[in-house]
Each structure stands twice: as C-alpha cells, then as structure tokens.
Amino acid sequence: MKSPALLRLVWWLGGLALVLGLARDPLLNLLPKPRELPRLDGATGQAWAGGGFVLGLGFNSLANGLLPAHVQTASSGIFGDDWTGRTETSWFKTKPATVHVAVAGYPQHAGCHLWAEFRNAAGTLTRVDCPIADPREEWNVWEIRRPPDAIAVRIVGEDRATDNCGWVGFSHPYRAWPGWVTAAYQFAHLLTTVALVLTLVWGPGLLWRPATTAPELQTVILLGAGPLLLALAGVVIWSAGGIVPPRSLGFVLIAALWLTLGIAAHRQRFDFGASPALLRVLAVSALVVVAVVAKSSYSVGPEGELYRGTVSRNLSIGDRLDSRFSFYTVQAAAHHFAPAAPETEKYFRPWTFFSRGPLPGLAAIPVVLATGGHPPVALPEKRWSPFDRTGFAAYRVTMIVLASAIVVAVFTLLRAFAGDRWAVTGAGLLALTPFGVHEVMFTWPKWAATAWLVVSFSLLHARRPGAAGLALGVGFLFHPLVLLWCPWLAVWSAGRSERNATAVATTLLRLGAGAALLVLPWMVIGRLAPHTADAVFAGQGDFLRYWTLADRETATWPTWWHSRWMNFANTFVPLHGYLSEFSFNHFRAQSPYGGTVPIVKFAALWWTSLPLGLGLGLWALSFTALWRALKLLPAATWLFVAAPALLITAYWGMDPLGFMRECGHPLFVAIIVLLCLVAAQTGGWLDRVLSHRVTPWLQLPETWLMLWLTALANHHPWSVEFAHLDPLYVVLNALALALAAWVLSQARPADAGA
C-alpha cells in the first residue's frame, strides 16, 4: 500500500474511534440481558442449589464486577475462612454453546474447588474445572464451552480450606452473549484510538511545516504542533468545564481538529512532501506504538505487577506511581476541579499538580473525553479491561504516542550530522532496543521530554540559543529531568558561539532567558500555590533534596558514597543488579505486594541498566564506539556521556538500584547517536555491522523477551475481564515489531547511496 492510501486509512480509522466512543454504551446495551438457565426438571419456587453454601442475590462485601444484577449467587465466604462444606446446584437445561457462571473468591486456592458437570442424553458426565485466576473479592465470569452432546449442566463448589482466602462463591448458571463480543468492540476501539492519536499528534506538523523553513525549525513544528494543540484543547476544556460539559467539549474540539486535518490532507492528496527516510521512521515509530499498545492490552503482567488487575496497571514491579500521574490531570479537568483544589491534591499527594510538568496530562484530556472516557472521581483503580470506560486506555495510548516522538527526534538530529542513511539507522536502533520500547510503553513523559531536549540541542547547534531555551522549557513542562542537562547544553552553546566573551555571554543569556520564560513561572506558581498540609512535597522543592539523600534517607558520607557506587554499578555493570546480594534483596526491587520471584527481578535490569537496556550486542558495539569517540569526538563524548553520567549518579544515586529509567533517557540517546557518528566517520567493520540488514532482526529477541518473559512466566495471574483476545495481542505485537524490523532492514540498502 502506498503512503497516501495508508495515511488516508489511518485518518478514517481515527474518525471511527470518535464514532465508537459515542456508540459504545448504546450498542453494547442492545445485547440481550443475561438470563438464568431453566431447571431441567421444570420445578419452580425451589432452591436452585443444595448443601452448605449460603444462597442469595450477592453479598455486600463483594464488588459486583461482571455479576448480572438479577442473577442469584452462592458462597462459602459468608461463614469465614475456617468453614468447610460443599454445594451442588440442580441440573439446568443447556442449549447455548456457552454457559456463563459468575465466580468470586479463591477457586484456585488449596482446598477450594469449583467445577461444572455436563450430562448427555445417555447420562454420561463430563467434568470441566474452573480455570480462571482467583477473582478475590470481586465477581468475574467463567465462560464454559458446552460439550456438543450435553443436555444439562450443574455447578459444584467445594470449600475444604480453613486458612486465609479459603472460600469460593459462584452464581446460578446463565446464558449471555459471549464476552468476546465486548472484547472485540474494545479491540476495535483501541486500534482506532491509536489511529486517532497518531493523526492528531503527527498530522499538524506534517501538514503545516513550511517547505522553506530551516530544518531545525521544521523539526520543532513536526514534533510540537500536534501535542501543543492537544494541550491547548485540554486547557480550554478544563477552563470551560463549568459552562460546557467537558466530554461534549472534548468531542467537539477533537472532531473539529480531526476534520480540519482531513480536509487539509485531502487537498494535498495525503502527500505531505516528507522524504522517504522520514516516512520510514514515522512508520517505524507508529509500528512500535502498535506493538506496545498490543502488549499493554494483554491481560497478564509480571507477578507482583503494581496496580495489578486495575486500569492503571503499569506492567512492572516496584513502587513507581508515575505511570498514572498525568491521568490525575485528566480526572481533575473532567470534574472541573481547580489545579490547586483539595480534590485535585488528593490525586497527587504528597506532591501537587505543580510538582511535574502539565503538558502530557493536558494533551491527554481531549483524547480521553472525545473517545467516550468517563474518568472517575476516585483514584483510577477500576477493574482492568483492554479499553476501559474510565478512559485510562485512551490516556495510555496518548502517552505512548507522545513517547514515540523520540524515534523521530533522533532521526532529525542524526540527519543534520550524518545524512538520511545514518539517521534512519540510529532511529531504528533506538526504536527496537529493550529500554527504548519499554519506556515508550511505560506511561510517563520522559521520552517526550527527551525528544524536546534533542530539539533544543539541534537548535543550539544551529546557533539559535533563544529558540533552544524555549524548546528546553517545553521539555521541562513534559518532565523536569531535562534540567539535569542544562549545564552541558550551556557549554556546547558557548563552544558554538563566536570566540569572544561578549558573544559567549549573549548566547548563554539567550539560552537561559528562553528556558526561564517557561521554567521559572511554573516553579514560582508551584511554590506559591496553596496546598494542603499533607502535600509535603509541594512544588519542585522535593527534587532538590536528592543530592543529599542515600537510599532515600538523609545521607552520611559513608552511606552517600555507598549509594552512589551501587547506583553506578547497577547502571553500567552487566547483571550487577541481579548478582549483587544487596541489590537483589533491596526492598525497592520487590513488589509492593510481597516477595518477588527471581525472573521478575532479572527482567527489571532491562530498564534499570544500560547493558541490558541497549541489548547486549548493541552495548558491546557502543562500548567500542565510545572508546573511539574519545579521540574522534572528544567534546561530545565528555559533555554528553561521561560528565552527565557522573552528574546523574551523584543526583539520582540516592536510589542505589540504577538510574537508567529515572534520568538516563538522554544519556541513552547520546550513546546511540555517538555510535552512529563514529561508524559514519570511521567506516570499517562497525559500519558494516550497523548497516547490515540483519541487524534490526537481531535486536528483536531481547526486546521480545523484555516484553513477554515475565508475563508468560507468571503462574499466579490476577483475575481480569475480557481476556478473550490475548492471543491476538501477542500476534499483533510480534507482527508490528517484525514489520518495524523489516522496514529498517529494507531501508539500509535503499539508503546506502544517499
């Protein structure tokens, strides 16, 4: 399919996301309501189950989940964990292909059993054990495939456990539409929302880049037009929410923007004048988005996953709450809470809305509301589904697309120094690394902030320090980590200015003034804004304390040095975080829910350590390239690799487990860029390895393992809804990554003579 046709398809799919958002509740409500199966003996007015379980219409202590409101239930949990007994239902007629039973409690717990028995006309019984993960205190649904010859079914529950969690509950069997119908609708809404966000984020920049503008300014427009328009729409929705319903306004604004982009693109016949190399990189970026959205939609995460089983599950262990911070902004806007209102501070405590940059949350507001999201007043901990009604999945997609901008940013940077061939190669290398993919998937704005740091550097190199400062400020409004790189950008800008004191001072002043226009007001507002007493980390002040902490406690000199050494070793020494007893057993390497299995601790190294984050092969190549870069590009190597690594170790060394996922994103980019520049300048075997079309394919195994190892090895998954399409998400993820590798492998010989 040619590019214009593909882009037109993406635009149309984006519009379909708006329609599916409007139609979701009306269409799904058209499905027939569940009906209890009739008794085989035709008796009415008698108990539907006999034995020791308590019969009723549900229990107040359990969340309804997927339990239909009128369906009766039986449970042993009403007696407490130490009670034992057995219940079996009457025989019920079964004609539909699928029998539904709501389940609660712990059917997989030792001593608890739940199964269905089917009977055919000859009286032969077929037993089907309940396979679903323990639903705990919320009703889930067990869909049972009826044997072809079965005419009757009964449910049997057994509670022989007397320890904690030793109970089980089940419902009267009933008939209903298969859950895959709803799962398929969610799948369609999910993929069309991906198309919509890709259209909104990249469409404005592709359409409205003046052809005569300098390349570095075209990059600013390409990366900034879409996200900043979305953020502006978010401001309008939040401000006018007391007058116009936020969901209605969000739909109108996004529909208008989508239609405007479509009309403008139609006039250009969906040919945006982008170079073939840029189109390849945009395709790779979009394929990575599809791959990680598919992985995020798979129902099982690592054992001990934070917020497991809820919409805000973050696909990793640890205590990092950041994955949902920007969604709090969406919640506040949806309910028209002021940024400093007590209701808003409850979301962010012990921080405040002003403790981090507002742009990612603002950009997500219109997308969530336009696609039918209903953000709750409470924390986003509703039961997980692939495309939930709260809007968290739409928020996740938005954050993923914003993060994917780093791939395009690296392309534009390398193109200025080494041409299209190496720009595509470098962007592709980053796009398929385990760390690169993981940080696109993790819903925080650090890659988006890093993309603007790259833009700032490009503007500095083009001797536009004022614009570079503004770009730095935009990056800060995504995430404050960009400030750690200000010293090195300042030194580089001084080196690019004329060789006299006045010129250097003027350059630095323009850089600082540009950044201060956005950074200082936000810091001042954060400091002066009223906040509640429990917002002990209000504003930016808490982040300045990191220099003086060790393992998050006030440091002494011995603990300060120990923490920094461990941080450095866990970042740069292969497998140190796994082999070090101190790091392996550190409480922050554990799941908040209890002990963590070794394979999950090993997997954490893919996003905490540089060697596994790059992939061991690419890490070995980069190690060689950096050694050469000390001679070929000494200023860049010292300024953007060695010195920042030491500075970040001193800063984030308050946490001994490594800094890659905390502040190491720009360092990761710098290493890949220097690797490509050294290969471009020296040629030889390094050039041949990186330019070989098999190289992208060799990156996939480690990245695929990073994505799937802990999920597929999870023997104690959390009970979730609508997991019917899990195999499809696995296949979609693999296909998207394979297509990205194919695009990159085809680009190498095509661009070899560029």
pLDDT digits (tens, 9 = 90+) for 178-192: 999 999 999 999 999
Q: What is the mean pLDDT of residues 517-540?
A: 88
Report which of 571, 572, 596, 568 is spatially closest to residue 584, judged by C-alpha positions.
Answer: 596
Q: What is the mean pLDDT of residues 463-480?
A: 96
Residue 494 lies in a domain: no
**Please, is 123 exposed, middle or buried when counting C-beta atoms within 10 Å of its C-beta (0-12, 13-18, 19+)?**
exposed
Residue 487 lies in a domain: no
Task: Give the pLDDT band (50/70/90) at residue 1.
Answer: low
**Exposure string (b/e) for 11-42, b if CB count within 10 Å is 16 or more?**
bebbbbbbebbeebeeeeeeeeebebbebbee
Q: What is the secondary structure of 365-376 as a DSSP string? A: HHHHHHTT----
Q: What is the mean pLDDT of residues 674-685?
A: 94
* Separation of alpha carbons 115 and 128, rounded Å: 6
pLDDT digits (tens, 9 = 90+) for 61-104: 777 888 998 899 999 877 776 788 899 999 999 988 899 999 99
The pLDDT assigned to 366 comes to 98
List CB contacts of 387: < 8 A, sequence separation 6 or more.
186, 187, 189, 190, 193, 297, 393, 394
Task: Give the pLDDT band (50/70/90) at residue 750.
Answer: very low
Report which of 334, 332, 304 is spatially closest to residue 319, judged by C-alpha positions.
Answer: 304
In this predicted structure, the answer to whether residue 19 has a pLDDT above a threshold of 70 is yes
pLDDT digits (tens, 9 = 90+) for 223-281: 999 999 999 999 999 999 989 999 999 999 999 999 999 999 999 999 888 899 999 99
Residue 275 lies in a domain: no
Reduced to 3 states, what is the DSSP secondary structure of residue 443? coil
The pLDDT assigned to 58 comes to 59
Amino acid sitting at position 445: P
The pLDDT assigned to 754 comes to 40
- For the whole model, what pTM was predicted? 0.95
The pLDDT assigned to 60 comes to 64
In this predicted structure, the answer to whether residue 727 has a pLDDT above a threshold of 80 is yes
Residue 670 lies in a domain: no
- Element (H or E) spanning 127, and its range? strand 125-129
Residue 61 lies in a domain: yes
In this predicted structure, the answer to whether residue 127 has a pLDDT above a threshold of 60 is yes
Q: What is the mean pLDDT of residues 358-366?
A: 97
In this predicted structure, the answer to whether residue 752 has a pLDDT above a threshold of 50 is no
pLDDT digits (tens, 9 = 90+) for 633-666: 999 999 999 999 999 999 999 999 999 999 999 9
* Separation of alpha carbons 704 and 669, rounded Å: 21
Q: Lowest mean pLDDT: which of 32-46, 400-414, 454-468? A: 32-46
Q: What is the mean pLDDT of residues 747-753?
A: 55
- Return mean pLDDT, the chain: 92
* Separation of alpha carbons 723 and 709, rounded Å: 18
- Count of domains observed in the chain: 1
- The terminus-to-terminus CA distance of the chain in angstroms comes to 24
The pLDDT assigned to 266 comes to 92
Residue 96 lies in a domain: yes
The pLDDT assigned to 751 comes to 45
Q: What is the mean pLDDT of residues 526-537?
A: 86
Structure token pair of residue 260: 């405007």
Amino acid sitting at position 654: M
Which CATH number covers residue 71?
2.60.120.940
The pLDDT assigned to 749 comes to 60
Strands of 336-442, DSSP E:
none
The pLDDT assigned to 716 comes to 85
Instruction: Supply the angle between the helices 392-403 and 325-334 in degrees, to the nearest 10.
Output: 130
Task: Give the pLDDT band (50/70/90) at residue 753.
Answer: very low
**Please, is 379 exposed, middle or buried when counting C-beta atoms within 10 Å of its C-beta (0-12, 13-18, 19+)?**
middle
Residue 122 lies in a domain: yes
Residue 330 lies in a domain: no
Around Cβ 125, how many Cβ atoms within 10 Å? 11
Enclosing domain of residue 112: 35-176
pLDDT digits (tens, 9 = 90+) for 148-171: 999 999 999 999 998 888 899 999
Name the percent of the chain lying above pLDDT 70: 98
